Structure 1
């Protein structure tokens, strides 16, 4: 696969509507044109770049670019990528809201039986969480332990009702808004799952009586990147892929 074929795969998987916001994805190419090995991670960082170098990656695929407000980080990453002839592609909002994206991938990891609503975004209505159901209701502790096992981290958990878990709302990453929790409630969810929480998220979930499960931003979203890379590989047989495994650096609890 070369860079042009990679870009064709991205357009095929996402469609033009999701890719219309040009500042929500980006591509940094080097003199390297042939892509034999893709390394993927949630974040572009010096650590993930070092892993890409170590494993002989031709192209990095990440959910996040290095944020502009992390002054100098992106430039340092690009300099290192260019030195080692590694290209980089990142895709943010489109991966959150494509039907196979971050929320759907996490719900599938949690072994849901039916997806009722894909996560989505519109200018009129803003963000909507993904909604899914279990055919056999779970105890709160069962779902908590399942999520901890999948993310391999100590997911924070607030049990705010006495119901068995039947319907969950999921907005990976920074889904801490009380408005998003309310939208999960409006959709009949008994539990809301996200990758960040604030004082207000926790207070509102307690007030509203909806269970709250919070993993890290990085590890609630990495499954979506893995799904994307798997789909790219299916379109390009013979392509090698591997996860550039990040540490659980967000954990402070």
Structure 2
């Protein structure tokens, strides 16, 4: 069974509101590379690396859905790695679709909403302001800092790095989750009444700043906090179109030889 590529991309564009949500211009949300027009198997992944593209081809996929697409670098000629990635995908009839901020902020299929839900945090406050769009999920966690860390590690499948304002046995309180590399939004989260700030990664200065603000800081890993959305899109397309999908797990350790 195969489904028209244009039907799938139109469905994703509408579901994720890719035309109305602001993002970096190089994110190029939506269809980044087309194929011959039909989709029979889908692969989903976080990053559009060369390894990911070849893994999708090995699976027999003809559509690869990414959170971080294949055009993150500045404008450049189609040579070297850029040429190799595009040639491999085109030779394998692999279409590529990407959704960055639109997938982070989605209330049902978004990285933040799903991580919060998995940890038992119900959204109850406003998010960070990102060019007029609400980013992240805020809500109360009924447990200690240690229990939150354990819940996060179970959800992420990876260890977290914690910096507690008091102790791990103190209440986690009002928790703000913002996936990816949002460490620099720490101050804005604190102004919104955040007691514990959870993100993927940040800058060194975020650590002493959290201490000075008197809030807890948790780094869960950029990659690990952003696997939820693409998996949800794969399952959504399976439910709607009956197409099989596979998640390509390519954490940072996959790039160490």
TM-score w.r.t. the length of structure 2 is 0.85
Cα deviation code 1:115-153 (max 9, x no counterpart): 124646443x6764321223xx21111111221222222
Cα deviation code 1:52-72 (max 9, x no counterpart): 011111100000013215975
2:138 and 2:100 map into 1 onto residues whose CA distance is: 20
* 219-228 or 241-250, larger mean C-alpha shift: 241-250
Alignment of 1:152-163 (within 5 A): 152-162=157-167, 163=170
Give the paired residue count.
245
1:103 aligns with 2:112: yes
Alignment of 1:64-103 (within 5 A): 64-66=68-70, 67-69=72-74, 72-100=80-108, 101-103=110-112
1:18 aligns with 2:44: no
Whether the 8 Å contact between 1:170 and 1:193 is mirrored in structure 2 is: yes
- 1:206 aligned counterpart, secondary structure: helix
Whether the 8 Å contact between 1:37 and 1:239 is mirrored in structure 2 is: yes
Give unpaired runs (5+ residues) of structure 2: none
Match of residue 150, structure 2, among 128, 131, 145: 145
Match of residue 9, structure 2, among 2, 7, 10: 7
Give unpaired runs (5+ residues) of structure 1: none
- Give the root-mean-square deviation of aligned CA atoms: 2.6
1:132 and 1:75 map into 2 onto residues whose CA distance is: 45
Partner of 1:49: 53
Shift in CA distance, 250/205, structure 1 to aligned 2, threshold 3 Å: farther
1:185 aligns with 2:185: no
Cα deviation code 1:94-131 (max 9, x no counterpart): 1122223121121122222x2124646443x6764321
TM-score w.r.t. the length of structure 1 is 0.86
